Amino acid sequence: MHLRQITAHNLSTFRHHYVAEISGSLGDLGTFLPIAIALAVNNTVSLSSTLIFSGLFNILTGLFFGIPLPVQPMKAIAAVAIARNFSNGAIAAAGLFVAAFILLFSVTGLLTRFANAIPIPIIKGIQVGAGLSLIIASANSLLSSLTWCSPSWADNRLWALAAFIFLLSTNVYRTAPYALIVFLLGLLFAIILSALASDLPSLTIWHPYTVLPTPHEWSLGILDAAIGQIPLTTLNSVVAVVHLAHDLLPNTPTPSITSIGLSVAGMNLLACWFGAMPVCHGSGGLAAQYRFGARSGASIIFLGVFKLIIGLFFGESLVGLLKRFPTALLGVMVIAAGLELVSVGESLNTTGARDIRKAGHGLIGNQAPEIGPMLSDYERKKRWTVMMVTVGLLVGFKNDAVGFLAGLLCHWAFEIPALVERVKARWEERRGAVRLE
């Protein structure tokens, strides 16, 4: 799709569904805000640079891809940086190393070859595992600290329960702008709490600065954070997000593996030098924004403009306000994203799966048939088992690479009987040829 067509698609979608697009643009804040705040409070990243550069990347992503592709934190790096209280230079070094790795694999074509070689059940497993991980993380990190009346009148289990009931109602009333309503309510509560504490944001113009990691920071960032982030970025932020975009938006051209890889590399090779948080494109964020109504790049362009403005003019003064945004509401938004991502697993054995759709294309007119005549019970069970092994080990070890390797081993184990039969057939052919001679 050319830029002119993408622009027309964005404008048309926003013009006819602007409420849904705005609501959808806020869907990934449940992941973005807690991590950005935690890193900014520790002075690990600059909140203003993070908002400005992520906003700029939101705008460019929406303009070039035309889908609600998120710009979200690199979670493995963020987790280590928060736990180890990284400096600006250490987290920048981690982001730059991952970006250089993804750039190398993208321009050489190795990333595309790798993605094409992964069986679909494993990709589905990574997506479902990521969704379950979001739900578990929300329950453990955001919602577990709440009681029925604390930590405040604006942030407790009652509000979490109300937000969850509202979320369930959107399964019936799909057009309700859930994320927009919840965000505005949470923002109102945060403003009231900040006003009572005399800690409202003030006009603070962005003063950019550069970060040059020292040799020690390079070593610390690469060895302790970047190496663990590479499998997550490759599998979830490139491979899984491309497949999810194809599944959720089949009528919109899907970005290529290479283009997504170059996007991830470019964002971090530019922003990390200015103290911004390392970012990527994640399947969880795409699922969240889709769940809350986003269907085009216009949604994240809107979000990008919003981030850009508040980052330029308020920046670090927003930390206090954002810290007071109710975790009860953020937690339920994260759960909603997880549930949307988990739901993609149901298409594993239907024509919703890319490999089945390709295999069946053209058998019945111009449409692929349902799976009945295409997959045997054994094939369905095999695919389901591979997906669930991937999910189970990914969630259990909290590591995408472990889940991927476990799913791959399971897939190969199912291929052993066929491999043995092929070896036997070749052996018989050779024996027959020897007899003829």
Cβ count within 10 A of residue 224: 17
The pLDDT score that the predictor gives to residue 270 is: 95
Residues 220 and 331 in one domain: yes
Q: What is the pLDDT along the chain (437 residues), one digit of tens a residue?
A: 578 889 999 999 999 999 999 999 998 888 888 888 888 888 899 999 999 999 999 999 999 999 999 999 998 899 888 878 899 999 999 999 999 999 999 999 999 998 888 888 888 888 888 888 888 988 888 888 899 988 999 999 999 999 999 999 988 877 788 888 999 999 999 999 999 988 888 888 888 899 999 999 999 999 888 988 888 888 888 988 998 898 889 888 889 999 999 999 999 999 999 999 999 998 888 988 998 889 999 999 999 999 999 999 998 888 889 889 999 998 998 888 888 888 878 878 776 667 676 665 444 344 444 444 477 888 888 999 999 999 999 888 888 888 889 999 999 998 888 777 777 777 777 776 656 55
Out of 299, 324, 345, pick the residue that ends a domain.
345
Residues 169 and 106 in one domain: yes
Q: Is 126:236 a contact under the CB 8 Å cutoff?
A: yes
Partners of 280 in the beta sheet? 72
∠345-115-240 over CA atoms, to 5°?
35
**Does residue 365 lie in a domain region?**
no
Residues 126 and 192 in one domain: yes
- The number of domains in the chain is 2
**Does residue 364 lie in a domain region?**
no
**Does residue 353 lie in a domain region?**
no
H or E stretch at 334 = helix 327-342
Residues 331 and 420 in one domain: no
φ/ψ of 97, rounded to 5, equals -65, -45
Residues 328 and 415 in one domain: no
- Residue 192 in 3-state DSSP? helix
**Does residue 351 lie in a domain region?**
no
**Does residue 352 lie in a domain region?**
no
Cβ count within 10 A of residue 426: 10
Residues 429 and 306 in one domain: no
The pLDDT score that the predictor gives to residue 398 is: 81
Domain that holds residue 188: 1-345
pTM of the model: 0.84
**Does residue 321 lie in a domain region?**
yes
Residues listed for the chain:
437
∠50-56-57 over CA atoms, to 5°?
90
Residues 90 and 174 in one domain: yes
The pLDDT score that the predictor gives to residue 409 is: 93
- Give helix 120-137 / helix 283-291 axis angle, nearest 10°: 70
Residues 307 and 163 in one domain: yes
Residues 117 and 231 in one domain: yes
The pLDDT score that the predictor gives to residue 184 is: 92
N-to-C CA span, the chain: 59
Residues 390 and 304 in one domain: no
The pLDDT score that the predictor gives to residue 369 is: 44
Count Cβ neighbours within 10 Å for each residue of 264-289 and write b for 16 or more, e otherwise.
bbbbbeebbbbbbbbbbbbbbbbbbb
Residues 316 and 422 in one domain: no
With tokens 């592709």, the residue in question is 69
Residues 319 and 426 in one domain: no
H or E stretch at 73 = strand 72-73
φ/ψ of 211, rounded to 5, equals -115, 125
Out of 324, 345, 366, pick the residue that ends a domain.
345
Q: Who contacts 82 (Cβ-Cβ below 8 Å, separation ≥6)?
A: 35, 38, 39, 42, 44
**Does residue 368 lie in a domain region?**
no
9, two tokens: 């698609």
Out of 327, 345, 363, pick the residue that ends a domain.
345
**Does residue 362 lie in a domain region?**
no
305, two tokens: 């403009």
